[in-house]
Chains A and B, each alone.
Chain A
């Protein structure tokens, strides 16, 4: 077996912008490599650059300097459409506020990325059913978001991230809007997905949450100040 291609490879990644008269360096020279199968927590106080790092690696934002490769593809060489396709095929996103479409069933919400992948009909339904089963929501496919608890809504969002079979999931404060009990549920779900081989990059400011990951990148003022392997919190 040949050497695996890193899922994320960044060199000298910078994101500078002007806010009023002040130059802000949200990212200021970040080098990192994330290999397939890793569960990485990105930690740091607010304003440390962790979200900017995720947005750039997730092809939602552009760096002002440096390069980043996702699954071997240099993002700076890709067009807007190619970036959209990359987000569709390679990356899955999970957000703090779930970002589900209101008044739309769990099944239809999970199906959203497949619409843009041009997959429809029975194929789309069977994929969504499988993804919802993976997050233990097979029995609630017809429920609308307002009929689901916060933890269930976040699991629908995770199913939506899984449905195109991505190589990598970005989770931005996935437990930020959940109580501690449901947070544990969601984090264990991530651990289970990771155990099945999914690469996960999770942004959090909470050390207890980061403890579920296998590796933690500590951000401060736009730099990675520490890169540690954590002992995984065992499923209790």
Chain B
């Protein structure tokens, strides 16, 4: 008997017991649907992280002052102070393989154009920000060193801000007011899209760091010319971790921290930065995937149960088949194919249900989900394996029956 013929016989046998078939498949359907949903959620999250990393640039380092949270640390002034303009200069000149470095000071406030206003983040940056973040302008011109030196009141605005304030009109050369200070729009940034954390990166305004310090940010702390964080891009082909170590060493020295002591600042490359945020998410994903896999096993046990019932119920049929010439192998194949078919059909339905659930999650929870085509193959191969594994014992039992005992079974 060919495999295809066995498959048709199996389909027929399953069709004849439609309700039982459906109930037996339920476990597999739920298992596969759970695995698919969990997998697409994890993949969606991973993909989002990946996109964030690449949107920031893989050769980017971010330096930020640490917090005072650490126990046993001096809490006095200066322990967690900002970086300064001098730190930026020191790194620029003191560390090899730096492609660009830009300090950042953050401000926020209402931005007004005519009678339209928009609440957004304003970043005071160096001209090298465009290089460090690999983020140029779509129209107009970027910030220049000249702008920084002169503390010019110019702004480069993000796409979202441009749309909110100007609609379809060109913002170039227009005058906007940030915290009541007039700025001239000289450029519009290229579109960057959502960040890994779901923040709209295009909802921002860049102004010269010097202008921001004097006009937009109130004087805080004791540091002259403070810098809240630094974006540092490393030259292509350079050793990221070496540059990272050099910057850390340099900053430790400048902050009078002994080598080996706890630093009160962070230098992270992007993947580390993201990893810290996604570690929890990954653990959750693993937990969900494990519980989904367990439900698949439970589904398999359901299949085994049904197949054992089916073998017992059809013992006389098995006897007849043996009487007309079925070998043990024919019977084994028949019941194995039946179990696998049961699981495969269940797997396909589970796949559809899983895709539907992923869609619902994406729609209602707003989580990014991603169905890899590979999952289709994995789900089908997985459910076929469950069928093979849990169908083998009942099928083997059927194939080893003695013909006369099977025929006479009551």
Contacts and interface: CB of A to CB of B under 8 A. Distances in A.
Contacts of B5: 115, 120
Contacts of A85: 325, 327
B326 interface: yes
A87 B330 contact: no
Contacts of B402: 61
A152 interface: no
Interface string A111-129: 0110111101000000000
Interface residues of A, number: 27
B403 A60 contact: yes
Contacts, number: 64
Nearest to B405: A61
Nearest to A102: B16
A95 B2 CA distance: 27
A88 interface: yes
A103 interface: yes
A93 B326 CA distance: 13
A84 B1 contact: no
Given A60-B404, A61-B404, A87 B16 contact: no
A173 interface: no
A46 interface: no
B14 to A, nearest CB: 13
A137 to B, nearest CB: 18
A99 interface: yes
Interface string A76-110: 00001100110111000101000101011000000
Interface stretch (B25-33, B314-322, B350-358): B314-322
A84 B404 contact: no
A88 B327 CA distance: 10
A160 interface: yes
Interface in B308-348: 316-317, 320-330
A99 B1 contact: no
A99 B404 CA distance: 13
A116 B327 contact: yes
B403 A88 contact: no
B404 A55 contact: yes
